[in-house]
Chain A
Amino acid sequence: MTIRKMIAAASLAALALTLGACADEPSDEPAKSGGQAGAQEIVFALHNTPDGIDPNITSNSFAAPIIFNTFECLVTYSTTDGALIPGQAESWDISDDGLTYTFHLREGLKWSDGSALTASDFVYSAQRVLTPSTTAQYVGLYTDYVVGAQELYDDASQTDGLGIKAADDTTLTIELKAPTPFFIDIVGMWAWSPVQQATIEANGDQWTNEAASYVSNGPFKMDEVNLGESYVLVKNPNYWDAANVKLEKITFRMIPDPSTALAAFEGGEIDGQLTVPSSDIARLKTSDSGLVVTPAYSTTWYNINNAKAPYDNPLVRKALSLAVDREALVNEVLQNGGTPAFSPVAPGYSVDGVEYSEGRSDFGLSATADPEAAKAALAEAGYPGGEGFPTLQLSYYTDDTVKLMTEALADQFETNLGINVEISNEDWAVYYDNVQAGNYEVGAMGWGADYFHPMTFLQLLQTDDVNNNVFYSNLEYDALVIQAQAETDPAVAMDLMRQADELSAAEYPVLCLFYRANMMLVSPELKGVYRTVLNNLYFRSAYLEG
């Protein structure tokens, strides 16, 4: 036997075995794009399995595509311009003191199993979140704002005190501890989704594991849960606006490697994917490939430990901020579509047509590095030419992109400031522990907004905030933030928030780099997919053309 024959025989045998082994497998091939005309079925690639899809429990952003298409809150977001619009609630009233919200639910709302959905389902959901054993990660979205929520969380017998009540089947009232101008955005977060008591009582925390028990109230309902492989959603005929939902089936396929997904996308095997491998962005930008770039309400920065010398000196922090070439970072190193940032608060929020960041100072910073000014600031702080400055400890959590960014940053510090930089990295779990404990000097961090309001960023720098890991403290700032929170007039609140923002950003508490953008791929035939600045991905208006 010649070698060629032998190899051929071997591969044939292997192939035959392969075919034989698979023949008896149930073939559940995913629907392909461009299949039968008119079949409104798509396959969309996600890259990470969420830690759960129970809207009351998880805060994991990987769950967003699944939860936001199967569940609907009192309010939702427009799939044309991202504006807040009525969802399960048809309308709502806010009392003059800003403390009582009355939501009027739509008539005849139903769960995906056909049973009626009433205001008391929202009350049940709230009580479930406020039960410690539920381990709701977003419990703060209730306890921070609602009367009696913390008390109920601390003591299960305090149900009467909870300020969330169903007056009748379609009227839900929520009483707040203090006026909260962005509360309407809060109830649009999935932790405020109603969940069905019957399925949870019957199935416990396994209710999210099977399609049949995953009862929901959104435009789509679960059809298959294939652990680690896919979530298959089908149109929910019991959704109040089902007449306008065109897609019949969405297969969210887990493809961990975005490069694999890209190959599948370009080969027409899938109709879209949630992230794009950074090495391909430049190529995809120049072609008509279906690259969709949407701004995100989130900011990437590096924490500077404000409590640790020499970083307790604002001049040192300013020098670091001036030494960074943000434009090169965004356009060359990361190629991620971001825009240079000089303040932690991302732009985009508007009141009466006035955008938050309009006319905001650049705090002496620029999109490119300013080595002269950076050196001057460092000299003013007592380290002329970087002399006598201790080696800067630059840390990051293990991640390929963050690694690139950190190395570029280190290089810019060394070149533009003449200081030494030492880089270290750890797994996120360890890294974050160290950041919280203040065991760092300068470290990779950022913030993705929870709700579409500048307060989500401003709270972070309050002296006592649990997420203030840079240990910045400015009592005047704290007072302004508290004042803005209590202000019921949105325009006045906006003015106060801008003041607070200007006050802190001028002291460079963090090293701002850029405002993020999200990039995804959507096949040109798939229309109407909308991604909000909060990364909510809606398919309820999507359809395949042709």
Chain B
Amino acid sequence: MTRYIVKRLGTSLVTLLFVILLTFVLMHSVPGGPFAQEKEAPPEVLDALNAKYHLDQPLVVQFFEYLGGLLRFELGPSFKYTGRTVNDFIVNGAPFSMRLGLITLVFVLIAAIPMGILAARRNGRWPDAVVMIIATLGITIPSFVAAAGLMYVFAYRLNWVPTFGLDKPTSYILPVLALGGYSLSFLARLMRSSLLEVMGQDYIRTARAKGLSEVRVITRHALRNAIIPVLTVLGPTVAGLLTGSFVIEKIFAIPGMGSYFVDSVTQRDYTTIMGMTTFYAAFLITMVFVVDLFYRLVDPRIELG
């Protein structure tokens, strides 16, 4: 187990390094620079800016300077927002994104797994149809459409919940529904199909033949295997939900991390692009790693290493 963890840490670091290098190269090969303003700054100012942010150095030097900063957990100053560092963006934005993401995740798990089980158990009958209709809608309706629709009905027309922000407990309802809709539907469908497959296997017939109750058959025998595909996609899902959604955060004016992922690219804010990508990559790698460890808990037959 220890050997496995050490090995995985090693490969994770290599992956991360590769992501950083690739982002760096891609970023600098995209035309346009970070200091384009609404109005042209005089050349002296551009020179001063380039000097301030070390953009006048060779790219190789810049890259290793960046890596050096990373080792000290310094993601560097933002090129766009004077006096701000990329650490500021994460430190200020993460609590919003993570809180919303965590609540959404819990909501998704609590709703999706029972929905999937129910649909599988009542396969072909009306509960199955209802779950599948909800799940199909959730997958096909883009989150921004759902967000706008929910906002129109519940905040604008009915005035039940606030329109924007996360200032009150009720503020969470709409963003959670809009953000979680896709994952909820996807996981419910996955749970359903995976359980259906397991339920057709011999050992389930054996369990039933022993005279076990249906509840026991499902919880003790079927679920343990059926949940593995769900666990597999859970890693990326968790990373995606917790690091913030650009669209949802924009529509509901939530000051999370989501906007920095997109805005930094259009603004060519180099350090922010690097910092956010690295942060997301590291988080994703960690989540996948955690999920892999979970496999073993669920199914002892899975060998790690």
Contact = CB atoms under 8 A, between A and B. Distances in A.
A267 interface: yes
Contacts of A207: 83
Contacts of A433: 31-32, 36
A18 B130 contact: no
Contact of B81 (A7, A30, A49, A259): A49
A223 B158 CA distance: 34
A466 interface: yes
A331 to B, nearest CB: 26
B131 interface: yes
Interface stretch (A129-137, A376-384, A496-504): A129-137
Interface of A: 1-3, 6-7, 10-11, 13-15, 17-19, 21-23, 27-30, 49, 51-52, 54, 57-61, 132-137, 139-140, 143, 153, 204-209, 226-229, 253-257, 259-261, 263-264, 266-267, 269, 398, 427-430, 432-433, 436, 448, 450, 466-467
A51 B45 contact: no
Interface residues of B, number: 67
B68 interface: no
A261 B164 CA distance: 8
B295 to A, nearest CB: 25
Given A206-B83, A227-B88, A256-B253, 10 more contacts: A58-B82, A134-B48, A229-B255, A253-B253, A254-B253, A264-B163, A264-B164, A448-B38, A450-B39, A466-B40
B92 to A, nearest CB: 4
B39 A467 contact: yes
A430 B114 contact: no
B159 A267 contact: yes
Contacts of B267: 429
B36 A428 contact: yes
Interface string B37-63: 111111011011101100000000000
A448 B80 CA distance: 21
Given A14-B103, A267-B159, A427-B32, A54 B92 contact: no
B255 A17 contact: no
Nearest to B265: A427
- A-B pairs with lowest CB-CB distance, top 5: A429-B32, A52-B82, A229-B255, A14-B107, A228-B255
Contacts of A29: 167-168
Interface of B: 31-34, 36-42, 44-45, 47-49, 51-52, 80-84, 88-89, 92-93, 99, 102-103, 106-107, 110-111, 114-115, 118, 127, 130-131, 148, 151-152, 155-156, 159, 162-169, 172-173, 176, 250-253, 255-256, 259, 266-268
Nearest to B253: A255
B41 A6 contact: no
A266 B106 contact: no
Contact of A260 (B36, B99, B159, B253): B253
User: Which of B41, B80, B81, B110 has most A Cβ within 10 Å?
Assistant: B81
Contacts of A49: 81
Contact of B110 (A3, A14, A30, A52): A14
A395 to B, nearest CB: 14
Contacts of A59: 37-39, 41
A205 B164 contact: no
Contacts of B83: 52, 54, 204-209
A14 B82 contact: no
8 contacts: A14-B111, A49-B81, A132-B45, A136-B45, A209-B88, A229-B165, A259-B148, A429-B268
A406 B299 CA distance: 59
A391 B84 CA distance: 46
B250 A27 contact: no
A30 B267 CA distance: 30
A430 B32 contact: yes
A260 B252 contact: yes
B84 A6 contact: no
A347 B271 CA distance: 42
A227 B32 contact: no
A17 B103 contact: yes
